[in-house]
Amino acid sequence: MMTLLFQSPHVSLRKLALGTINQFILLMPPVLFMSMDTYLQGLFVLAIDPSSEVRKLVCSAFVQLIEVRPSFLEPHLCNVIEYMLQVNNDPDEEVSLEGCEFWSVFCEAPLPPDNLRSFLPRLIPVLLSNMAYADHDESLLDAEVNSFPASSTFFFK
């Protein structure tokens, strides 16, 4: 199976294998559904990959899984949340940005909100530190030091 390539010593093969399987998450063919445990084990191994491109694909996989089939991640949710908190501080900005996407999708997932409650003291500062303002908002903030503009538009770095 393609997950065997997750263990390849070649970054390009790990990246291609993960990217290929990620393409099928939304479709969830029966073979992926039946191999989900193996796929998740591979994701957890690749989560600490030295390649930022591979880590970005791991984040993308978690984002897609939490969106399409949150039940697959629910037994591992504490570990996934811990990982995503770490990824949000990744030195590679693209990895960090992909990690930020997880939180907006997580909020829409049909999961009990209590799953996130114990992480909030760590999550809120991470999200705030990764926020970026649009240029026009920065000028408004400079002009009005003591007030937050109601029409402010923000996004994650």
Q: What is the pLDDT of residues 109-150, one digit of tens each?
A: 999 888 889 999 999 998 888 776 555 555 555 655 555 545
- Enumerate the domain spans of the chain: 2-131
Is the pLDDT reported for residue 8 higher than 60? Answer: yes
CA–CA gap between residue 9 and residue 134 (Å, rounded): 41
CATH domain 2-131 topology: Leucine-rich Repeat Variant (1.25.10)
Q: What is the pLDDT of residues 34-47, one digit of tens each?
A: 999 999 999 999 99
Q: How confident is the model at residue 156 (pLDDT cuts 50, 70, 90)?
A: low
Q: Please, what's the largest Cα pairwise distance for the chain?
A: 58
pTM: 0.82
CA–CA gap between residue 18 and residue 43 (Å, rounded): 8
